[in-house]
Amino acid sequence: MIKTKGLTKYFEKIKAVDDLNLEINEGEIFGLLGPNGAGKTTTVRMFNTLTLPTSGTAEINGLDVVKEATKVKWLIGVSPQEMNLDQELTAYENLRLHGLLYKMKEIEQRIDELLSWSGLAERRDSLLKTFSGGMRRRLLVARSIMHRPKVLFLDEPTVGLDPQARRQIWDIIRDLNRQGVTILLTTHYIEEAELLCHRVGILSHGKLIALGTPEELKARVGHFVVESIDDGTTNYRLFDSRKEAYNFAQQRTDDVLIRESNLEDVFIKLTGGRIEK
């Protein structure tokens, strides 16, 4: 559904995205992970036709995002990191303008549907200024799917939300995916990627340094972690089997913790953390 070849973006002299080769399948929830400034948002903006690549190509459903930008725009839904709903308009007005921009028919019906789907029916005529962070994020996602896109881009969809609001967004994402929407989400909350994504890619300094299912990535670095404290800093050692981890732990005289590895361990290991193996 999404395919890139050598996708690269420079801002002046700074390389934001470096030779990205990636393929995302139809119906997949794909997570793009990486520390702040790794190039996630720039990558998504290139898919969204908002930023022009310096070199390389990106295709969505076989359409080039530069040469066939207008056709691409009909296919995609975008929920940017900055909640860019119009603060001075009501929820209803925000959705109505979106429907008009996409020349939709039956706008009113779709608005009612989306407002009740996102649990905001009662706030239909309130100005966005008065909405909480979670409500804004739900409306933002509702707006991005209003024109029934085939591919949905969610840039940091849960940043700054409380645990309850975050779970609501997760349910919304799963629900959309069940309806057949291909989803690309960026996040630096790793448990989010682990819970939601079929596959993840890890970006670091603009380069894709790992790609696979969460299980595959964990297998690559080791299934078990021993946490120990040496000179006041926590060390994480990764082991392929429980036995190896146990043997290591037995040699220690102080307190250690043995646990299964998670994507966060993979992430820290691959992006240059202190994990030893």
Partner 1 sequence: MNFYPIFLREMIIFKRRLLRLGYLFSSMITPLLYLLTFGLGLGRGLSVEGVPYLMFVVPGICAMSSMTNSYTWIATSISVGRLHFKTFDEYLVSPATARDIMLGEVLSGVVRGLFASSLILVAGSIFGAGFPQSPIFLLVWVLNCLIFACLGVVFGFLAKSHEDTATFSNFFIIPMAFFCGTFFPIDKLPAFIKTFLYFLPLTHACKALRTSFLGQEVKIVSLGIMLLFFALCFYLGVVTIRRSNR
* For partner 1, the closer CB: 81 or 228: 81
> How far is the C-alpha of 224 from the C-alpha of 239, rounded, in Å?
5
DSSP state of 127: B
Give the nearest distance from C-beta 238 to partner 1 in angstroms: 40
Residue found under tokens 């969505």: 60
Q: Any residues with CB less than 8 A from the CB of 145 and at least 6 apart, and which?
A: 77, 114, 152, 176, 181
Helix axes 163-178, 133-145, angle to 10 degrees: 10
* For partner 1, the closer CB: 44 or 270: 44
State the DSSP H helix or E strand holding residue 7, giving kind and residue range, or none if neither. strand 2-11
* For partner 1, the closer CB: 105 or 178: 105
Dihedral pair phi/psi, residue 37, rounded to 5°: 85, 15
Give the nearest distance from C-beta 56 to partner 1 in angstroms: 15
Handedness of CA 149, 183, 38, 15 (dihedral sign): negative
Give the nearest distance from C-beta 244 to partner 1 in angstroms: 49
Give the nearest distance from C-beta 79 to partner 1 in angstroms: 10
Give the nearest distance from C-beta 84 to partner 1 in angstroms: 4
> How far is the C-alpha of 226 from the C-alpha of 246, rounded, in Å?
8
* For partner 1, the closer CB: 84 or 213: 84
Q: Which residues of the shown chain bind partner 1 in the complex (CB under 8 A)? A: 48-52, 70, 73-74, 76, 78, 80, 82, 84-89, 93, 97-98, 100-103
Residue type, 186: T
> How far is the C-alpha of 226 from the C-alpha of 261, rounded, in Å?
9
* For partner 1, the closer CB: 70 or 179: 70
Give the nearest distance from C-beta 117 to partner 1 in angstroms: 20
* For partner 1, the closer CB: 78 or 91: 78
Residue type, 187: T
Which residues is 239 bridged to in the sheet?
A: 224
